Structure 1
Amino acid sequence: MATTRIGLDRLPPAARAAVEQHTGPLLTIEETAEGFNSEIAARVTSTTSTWHIKGLRTDHPRAWTQRREATVAPFLTNLAPALHWRVETAGWDLLGFEALDGHHADYAPDSPDLPEVATLLRRLNETPCPDTELRRAEQRLEHYAAHPDALHYFAGTHLLHTDLNNTNVLVNAHAPQGDQARLVDWAWATRGAAWLDAGYWTIWLIAAGHTPASAEHWAAKIPAWRAAPAEGITAFAAANANIWSDISNADPDPWTTRLATAANAWHAHRKTG
């Protein structure tokens, strides 16, 4: 369920003042529509620089997502926008990120962004998982797996993003090839098997118009996917079909229905393939 978005101008004066200690007086504020986890999301500019600010009240039920992002940010060099500052005051937790240029990744079958996203996921696989508190993939999937004995396929020691929504991938076409894509919104960072992010990507690719076979072709650009057991991939497809069925039933709209349809199509492909 999405968090209600409010404008930066509704921050308590003490919180706004604390932000401006880092930024200087704000000249422009561009509220951001994308994203579900933050009450505050805005691109701001001062005389010195530009930042992307994310914020939640410290008593918000999802306040843990701010802490998670702040915890993992130092380990995400060349994967995500840098976290420059954090403000916790007047009942608010606010994060000031590097403001990235670029567009949301296009996942369509003929998109030139696809190789960049695959390269990004390969880089993520090569990034050491920080020794911090993270949920484990097998924990997150335990209520959705078709069989409890399938959960061991999802366990591992790799850092995962797990939310491969195309709006969470920014592509800067002016950067060097192979280094154009960055992942934003690490609220759901997880520890698990290295191939799982390629699996999450597969569902979003199908939702963007790929056949299941085409989506798996792109997933296979990530070496960890090629090394994954076929039974584990099929179990993961089954679990995600259950997840998206639950989500779309609880919150039926075109967006959730599209993802549920994609997840079911992938699961059907795995069962018959």
Structure 2
Amino acid sequence: MVDAFGVRIGWRDLPDQVRSAIEDIIGEPVVQAVSQPGGFSPGTADRVRTASGRRAFVKAVGRALNERSPQLHRTEVRVTAALPPEAPAARLLGSYDDGDWVALVLEDIDGRHPRTPWTADELSAVLAVLRELAGKLTPAPLTDLPTAAEVLGWDFEGWHRIRLDPPDDLPERARERLDDLCALATRAVPALAGDTLAHIDVRADNLLVTADGRVKLVDWPWAALGPAWLDTLILLINVQLFGGHPTDRLLVEQTAYTGVDPADLTAVLAGFAGFFFDAARQPPPPGLPTVRAFQRAQAEAVLPWLLERLDARS
């Protein structure tokens, strides 16, 4: 199994001025920093503590590590600051931006990632939180974010790029149905319309479970305006990756309240599958050497689920 783990710098790798600004936000010097696993940002992701016991979670990245990552941090600053207080997310304590380095200082949530393969109780808790959160974030508290169609539109053209240049290792079942998959991916983009603030990147490593069973959704750099059911579908892709649960039945049950057309769910699932297969064959982005293997693993997990939905429709 390929997990969502990248390669990070640590607290001591940050420039002096960045560490100093972060300590000003916290109010005291940091005496301990523990790097956290999970996710693909090449920047730091540290739980930090001061001598008096103050705690925070710090994320910081500079352009030299990855050109795109600082802008993602800027988006996360805006989104996290706009989340309603009752949202199950980490509270933003402050941020730093010098045009090169961007840092977020967040509430440190005393929790752990859900267990994978997913357990039934934690999966049920996360699904319930996503449904509750969709209600709280509809309409979205930020209206000037990109739409999910804008964020995912190019990605969802993956099957079209694959049809023009099929890789040698493309599974035969996908190769035989490329026309159908391209048509579905085209339908997927307009299906992403909606006025919910969607996280867009719901995976086990972007969730925390506290000792009393509460669930917190963290890491919001990809947030966009989309349909209320989108984050549930994305979570279930992660569940499908690890196996052991009836993902299709859960998708139907958990999205029924939205009135979504099942064909739209199939189309968006096809869009993600095409994105994963197409992205996995590209060179890794700077500072993200492990992301392509994870995308390939997701592609291979989603394809059988997608083809089962297509066969059932036929």
| TM interval, short-chain normalised | 0.7 to 0.9
**What's the offset of the Cα at 1:80?**
1.1
Q: Normalization by structure 2: what TM-score? A: 0.77
Partner of 1:165 in structure 2? 203
Superposed counterparts of 1:110-121, under 5 Å: 110-121=119-130
1:118 and 1:43 map into 2 onto residues whose CA distance is 27
1:163 and 1:149 map into 2 onto residues whose CA distance is 21
Partner of 1:35 in structure 2? 39
SS of residue paired to 2:267: helix
Partner of 1:202 in structure 2? 236
Q: Normalization by structure 1: what TM-score? A: 0.88
Distance 1:221 1:55, change over 3 A: farther
Partner of 2:94 in structure 1? 85
2:222 and 2:262 map into 1 onto residues whose CA distance is 25
**1:219 and 2:251 equivalent?**
yes
1:18 and 1:140 map into 2 onto residues whose CA distance is 31
Q: Which of 48, 57, 60 is the matching residue for 2:62?
A: 57
Q: Which of 1, 5, 8 is the matching residue for 2:8?
A: 5
Distance 1:135 1:37, change over 3 A: farther
1:40 and 1:254 map into 2 onto residues whose CA distance is 22
| 1:134–1:190 Cα contact (<8 Å) kept | yes
Superposed counterparts of 1:1-273, under 5 Å: 5-23=8-26, 24-46=28-50, 47-57=52-62, 60-76=67-83, 77=85, 78-89=87-98, 91-108=100-117, 110-128=119-137, 129-143=140-154, 144=156, 146-147=182-183, 148-175=186-213, 180-210=214-244, 214-223=246-255, 227-250=259-282, 254-273=293-312
Q: Per-residue displacement from partner, 1:17-64 (whole Å, max 9, x unpaired)?
A: 222212201121111232212512111001241111001126733211
Distance 1:220 1:99, change over 3 A: farther
Q: Which blocks of at least 5 consecutive residues in structure 1 are unaligned? A: none
| 2:18–2:101 Cα contact (<8 Å) kept | yes
Distance 1:58 1:253, change over 3 A: closer
Distance 1:5 1:150, change over 3 A: closer
In structure 2, give the amino acid aligned to 1:271: L
1:4 and 1:166 map into 2 onto residues whose CA distance is 18
SS of residue paired to 1:106: coil
In structure 1, give the amino acid aligned to 2:233: G
**What's the offset of the Cα at 1:170?**
0.7
**What's the offset of the Cα at 1:218?**
2.7
**Percent same amino acid among aligned pairs?**
26
Distance 1:172 1:217, change over 3 A: farther
SS of residue paired to 2:281: helix
Distance 1:101 1:194, change over 3 A: same
Distance 1:208 1:156, change over 3 A: same
1:32 and 1:104 map into 2 onto residues whose CA distance is 11
| 1:220–1:226 Cα contact (<8 Å) kept | no
SS of residue paired to 1:112: helix
Structure with greater proportional strand content? 1
SS of residue paired to 2:32: strand
RCO comparison, higher one (Cα < 8 Å, 6+): 2
Q: Per-residue displacement from partner, 1:51-85 (whole Å, max 9, x unpaired)?
A: 11001126733211111111111233332111111
| 1:43–1:53 Cα contact (<8 Å) kept | yes
